[in-house]
Chains A and B, each alone.
Chain A
Amino acid sequence: MTDESRDWDGATALEVRKVVKAYGATMALDGVSFSCQVGEVHGLLGENGAGKSTMVKILSGLVSPDQGEIAILGKIVRLRNPRMALSAGTATAFQETTMVPHLTVAQNLMLLREPRGRFGFNSPSLTSAAAAEILSEWDAGEIDPDRPVFDLSLSNRQRLELIRALSRRPAIALLDEATAALGAADVDWLFRQVAKFKSSGGTVVYISHRMGEIRELCERCTVLKNGREVRTFPTSDVTDSEAVEMMAGRAIQRIYAAGRSEPTGSDSVLVADHISFPPALEDVSFELRRGEILGMAGLQGHGQKELFMALFGACRAKGSLEVNGKPLRMRSTHDAVAADIGISLVPEDRKVEGLMVSMEGLANLTIANLSQFTTVGFIRRHRERAAATKTLLAVNASVKTLDQEVWALSGGNQQKLAIGKWLLAGTRVLLMFDPTRGVDVETKAEIFGLMQRLAQEGRSILFHSTDVEEIVNVANRALVMYRGRIAAELEGDGLTKEALVGAMLGTAQEVVG
């Protein structure tokens, strides 16, 4: 660890100089440089694959750069592991929370900085008290420090992750997609804490894709694209569409080039009657028409996930379902897939729930419908490959992905495989939960185009998205979920951004979780 102070101006908190990181043949970071001043909240923007997550990993000490330098408060540092990163002055609130589930809130919060009790040993009561103090200092006093973390809601876990990072009082706090699991009120809470942190001299690197938050919090931003930094600029200098263009290099309008579709028939392929799965899902009834793209809007955590799981048979909910006119008794996902015309789910987190990342694309594509190519238990390999190839062409993915292990593919290709799996299985009802999450703009456009084509072929799609733009431009009808019920049904001219947002918010700001 070299200790030079290279003409430090006293005001630069973090300087990243020409950092390079390659994974095999891919340049995740290709000579990125930027800097932040003390007390600044600096935004880091970029699409998936642009290098944001690699940058966070480097600054957290999880990964070492191949070339380049990092200086914190004027000192050049080598962040070989997270422990060194912490002592060098960075603390990270990760996107996927890094809590040890069976340890308590207090134990997680105070991990490795517990107050010393008698004879230098830790003491549960001292740890708990220290945690309680920190929690109330950061406006989260209602969280019980002695509860195990797995008991907490997702949003509280994220709040805890944030508090842990901020309460370490690092020189630089890295907040990676800090609001992904937070409801509106919690987002306000975060802004207040960031302001507090700032005023005590801390610097924040704020990684996000949500322009609204960036505008409110960050004085300056850096946009990354394909491992290079495009521009660093004061936030107020640039409009939203300019920012998106910088990130994606493509104008935003093209995403929705396909326009809305119209249902091909008026009969209902799916009738859901009083589906409930308390506490999140109260009572939902709706119909999905043939050839329709039905959008489901709503803020995070109002029961959408539970509804999708219930419709797919992944959880035992109350209520009844009718598929293609016939009642369906759902006891497992197998029943869903095998039902008359078949129901399938493209889930939220494809790496955890949608794809088997250690297997090749081919295996992932065909796993939902192996019987199609099986005779007497044996798989007819060439038939399987032929069908898979056809499907890949339908989703516009390269045939090379068939033989590559899925973890190595880009997010866009992974999502295409996740969708393709169900196309191959021939299910006519597709439930898609946030299908464009983690997908670059190019692929997003492709996916929407694909959805339109599928609808025109007679498949019926129910898709959920938190992005109102998507719902307005892609769905021909939309339902809004609020507090476990359907708050509104919007169609045709009535389906506008304003109407959606109004229904999503209900009559008051809602605290979720």
Chain B
Amino acid sequence: MSHTVNDDAASASTTSPVPRDSGEGGSATHPGVVLRRMWGNRAIQTVLAVYGILILLLLLSRFINPSYGSIGFVRTVVGLSTFTAVVAFGQGIVILTGGFDLSIPSTMTLSAVLLTGMATGSSAKTLWVIPLMLAVGAAIGAFNGIGVALLRLSPIVMTLATNTILGGVILLYTNGTPAGFTPPVIIHLVQGRLFGGALPEIIVVLIGFTVLGVLLLNYTSFGRRVYAVGSNPIVARLSGVRTGSVLVGVYVISGVCSAIGGMLLSGYSNQSYLGLGDPYLLLSLAAVVVGGSSIRGGRGYYLGTLAGAVILTAVSTMLAGTNLSQGFKQIVYAVVIIVAVLAVRQRE
């Protein structure tokens, strides 16, 4: 959609003290117009493009294997993509401000080992262990945020350092071998099903999380400030926005998301293990990028990121079902990312 550089107002008559009519007629409340207004043309175009790719992918997948396009397949894939989607929200909101969170892997692993270590398979203990996990995630995020906002350190390096430090902490805590089992309530949350097997519980978690995430980004003043800081931190500051608090806030959110992701993962594998979070650094980054967000910040849409997470999970699930060697799978993965990024790219 091209925008005209010289729009109407410039040609209007000038020094009249009476305000002009806005010219908006009865079409103002048409749903299409409202939606476009709320989210902007660019957002809609980008998100639609990503979902287009996703749908195309699912349709094409039938040719590889008839069972791929089925509801059951979609259900499984969407459920599996929850881990990436949750973590990608945190990564995404940090990227919106122009930063990166490289501490996701260790935060995930740490929260997983703490969960299994402290709750040791008891559902009752989760009542205090889970809030503790979330607090730990938040604290890690705060640590990152303070380094970035207050000490003005590069986000890449700060979170990289945090990741390294946490790696050591994990080793210390577990003595090299994570102990304990995941509490049944978590296992049930991740692997259980509702409505007599029709709906995996984890999808409910995903939907709930998505709703919260979209609300936060698009409908709260905090979300607006995040976009402002990412678009132009100087202007944000000159507009009275407390950029420091916003920065700390996004890292805290990312820390909490990583903690949640780690907990969910431990529910999937029934236990925790070293390196649990490692694949998710690249996965979260890829989901955000494939989802249409700008890597430099200021532009991003969680619905797109969600689709990106599902695309990535779908591709890896499909690949897992083939006879292709592990190497080939990775190569396909790489090509998919490049193609998706090129396809979703907007002309600026």
Contacts and interface: CB of A to CB of B under 8 A. Distances in A.
A413 B225 contact: no
B39 to A, nearest CB: 10
Given A353-B238, A396-B19, A26 B40 contact: no
Contacts of A356: 227-228, 231-232, 235-236, 298
Question: Which of A333, A360, A425, A445 has the most chain B CB atoms inside 10 A of its CB?
Answer: A333
A204 B299 CA distance: 42
A26 B24 CA distance: 23
A468 B219 CA distance: 46
B36 to A, nearest CB: 7
Contacts of B231: 356-359
A405 B42 contact: yes
Interface in A428-466: 440, 442-443, 445-446, 449, 453
B19 A445 contact: no
B221 A405 contact: no
Interface string B1-44: 01111111110101101011011100000000000111010100
Contact of B239 (A360, A421, A442): A421
A381 interface: yes
Interface string B208-244: 0000000100011110110110011011111111100
Contacts of A112: none
B14 A442 contact: yes
A393 interface: yes
Interface string A383-410: 0010001001110111111111100111
Question: Which of B215, B219, B225, B240 has the most chain A CB atoms inside 10 A of its CB?
Answer: B240
Question: Which of B15, B20, B225, B227 has the most chain A CB atoms inside 10 A of its CB?
Answer: B15
Contacts of A403: 36-37, 40
B19 A394 contact: yes
Given A379-B219, A397-B9, A354 B14 contact: no
Contacts of A337: 239-240
A170 interface: no
A257 B16 CA distance: 11
B242 A453 contact: no
Give the interface size bracket for B toward A. Answer: 35 or more
Contact of B17 (A358, A370, A443, A449): A449
A352 interface: yes
Question: Which of B22, B42, B221, B236 has the most chain A CB atoms inside 10 A of its CB?
Answer: B221
B160 to A, nearest CB: 23
B234 A353 contact: yes
A377 interface: yes
A412 B215 CA distance: 34
Contacts, number: 160
A357 B348 CA distance: 12
A25 B2 contact: yes
Given A401-B9, A446-B14, A359 B227 contact: yes
A389 B19 contact: no
Nearest to B216: A377
A332 B20 CA distance: 37
Interface in B61-98: none
Contact of B7 (A333, A359, A363, A410): A410
Contact of B9 (A312, A345, A413, A421): A413
A399 B8 CA distance: 10
Contact of A398 (B22, B225, B227, B236): B22
B6 A393 contact: no
A389 B5 CA distance: 21
Contacts of A399: 22-24
Contact of A363 (B12, B42, B227): B227
A28 B5 CA distance: 9
A26 B5 contact: yes
Given A379-B219, A393-B22, A408-B4, A352 B234 contact: yes
Contact of B220 (A25, A49, A369, A379): A379
Contacts of A354: 235, 238
Contacts of B232: 352, 355-358
Interface string A101-143: 0000000000000000000000000000000000000000000
Given A333-B237, A358-B231, A399-B22, A370 B6 contact: no
Given A400-B8, A403-B37, A345 B15 contact: no
Interface string A5-25: 000000000000000000111
Contacts of A23: 2, 5
B32 to A, nearest CB: 13
B22 to A, nearest CB: 4
A404 B9 contact: no
Contacts of B215: 378
Given A359-B227, A399-B23, A408 B5 contact: yes
Contacts of B235: 352-356
B150 to A, nearest CB: 13
Given A379-B221, A410-B5, A445-B15, 4 more contacts: A26-B6, A334-B240, A357-B232, A374-B220
Interface of B: 2-10, 12, 14-15, 17, 19-20, 22-24, 36-38, 40, 42, 215, 219-222, 224-225, 227-228, 231-232, 234-242, 298-299
9 contacts: A356-B231, A357-B232, A370-B224, A396-B12, A397-B9, A398-B23, A409-B5, A410-B10, A449-B15
The 7 closest A-B pairs by CB, nearest first: A24-B2, A408-B3, A337-B240, A356-B231, A393-B19, A399-B22, A370-B221
